[in-house]
């Protein structure tokens, strides 16, 4: 078995090297055609609207907060109101890893996938994260499985998403077991405010980790 691996790997690399641009383009198109679809699946179209309004292209202003900045700001969730200390935001391009904030302009793309039984989106904040979410409606629990993957930051999350009043709330845990909550708030047809929060005390208090102010791109 071990001896065959280099041979198999070599064949694959040779095939790739011999594939011309037109063939590669055709393979890419077939994958896109198999993944994407024009709209929701008829057997659950009435349930797909929770995220279906997001289909399209968006731009966002993003603020990602570092751990030290979180401690100094003492951002917390009290009911439905987020309490923040005065803004000490640094210049755009700073790193959230050093206890400051990272500000930037990003983009988001949403589309129907998997015969319209799921929605996939790509979130891009250049130089900071480049990830994708697969949102799958589950009739058995009347909620959505949310699967986030970011190979740039090596960040992976699994959550359950539901409507909560006028908001959409996704709940799960991070790698340490702390509660994580990602929410779409202030929703209009052409804008939304996204909040990423974490609680280390079982949901008694929430600290803001990121917020995005998104606007639909119509052009």
Task: Assess whether 104 and 192 both reside in one domain.
Answer: yes
- Its domain, for residue 96, covers 42-216
**Same domain membership, residue 176 and residue 119:** yes
Residues 30 and 46 in one domain: no
Structurally, the chain folds into a number of domains equal to 2
Residue 31 and residue 53 share a domain: no
Q: What is the chain's mean pLDDT, rounded?
A: 81
Give residue-wise pLDDT tens across range 105-146: 999 999 999 999 999 999 999 988 999 999 999 999 999 999
- 147 and 172: one domain? yes
Non-local CB neighbours of 101 within 8 Å, separated by 6+ positions: 63, 64, 65, 66, 69, 88, 89, 90, 94
d(CA 125, CA 106): 4
DSSP strand pairing (207-216 vs 179-188): unpaired
User: Do 18 and 120 fall within a single domain?
Assistant: no
Q: Are 203 and 99 members of one domain?
A: yes
Q: Which H, E and C letters describe the chain, residue by residue?
A: CCCHHHHHHHHHHHHHHHCCHHHHHHHHHHHHHHHECCCCCHHHHHHCHHHHCCCEEEEEEEEEECHHHHHHHCCEEECCEEECCCCCCCCCCCCHHHCCEEEEEEEEEEEEEHHHCEEEEEEEECCCEEEEEEEEEECCCCEEEEEEEECCCCEEEEEEEEEECCEEEEEEECCCCCEEEEEEEEEECCEEEEEEEEECCCCCCCEEEEEEEEEECCC
Segment 22-73, tens digit of pLDDT: 566 677 888 899 999 999 999 999 999 999 999 999 999 999 987 433 333 3
Are 69 and 19 contained in the same domain? no
From the list 141, 145, 158, the residue with the least C-alpha distance to 117 is 145
165 plus 65 within the same structural domain: yes
Q: Is the dihedral of CA 139, 198, 200, 83 positive or negative?
A: negative
CATH number at residue 171: 2.40.128.20
pLDDT > 70? residue 219: yes
Same-domain status, 166 and 78: yes
- Give the pTM: 0.75
pLDDT at residue 91 is higher than 50: no
Same-domain pairing of 157 and 72 = yes
């Amino acid at each position: 078995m071990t001896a065959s691996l280099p041979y198999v790997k070599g064949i694959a690399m040779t095939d790739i090297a011999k594939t011309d641009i037109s063939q590669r383009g055709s393979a890419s198109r077939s994958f896109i055609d198999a993944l994407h679809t024009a709209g929701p699946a008829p057997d659950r179209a009435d349930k797909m609207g929770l995220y279906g309004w997001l289909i399209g292209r968006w731009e966002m202003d993003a603020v990602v907060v570092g751990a030290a900045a979180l401690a100094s700001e003492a951002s917390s969730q009290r009911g439905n109101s987020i309490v923040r200390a005065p803004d000490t935001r640094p210049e755009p391009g700073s790193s959230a890893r050093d206890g400051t904030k990272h500000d930037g302009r990003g983009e988001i793309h949403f589309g129907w996938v998997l015969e319209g039984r799921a929605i996939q989106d790509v979130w891009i904040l250049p130089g900071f994260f480049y990830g994708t979410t697969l949102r799958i409606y589950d009739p058995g629990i009347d909620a959505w499985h949310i699967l986030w993957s970011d190979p740039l930051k090596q960040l992976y999350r699994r959550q359950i998403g539901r409507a909560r009043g006028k908001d959409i709330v996704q709940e799960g845990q991070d790698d340490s077991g702390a509660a994580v909550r990602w929410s779409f708030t202030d929703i209009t047809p052409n804008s939304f405010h996204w909040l990423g929060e974490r609680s280390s005390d079982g949901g008694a208090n929430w600290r803001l980790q990121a917020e995005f102010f998104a606007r639909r791109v119509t052009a």
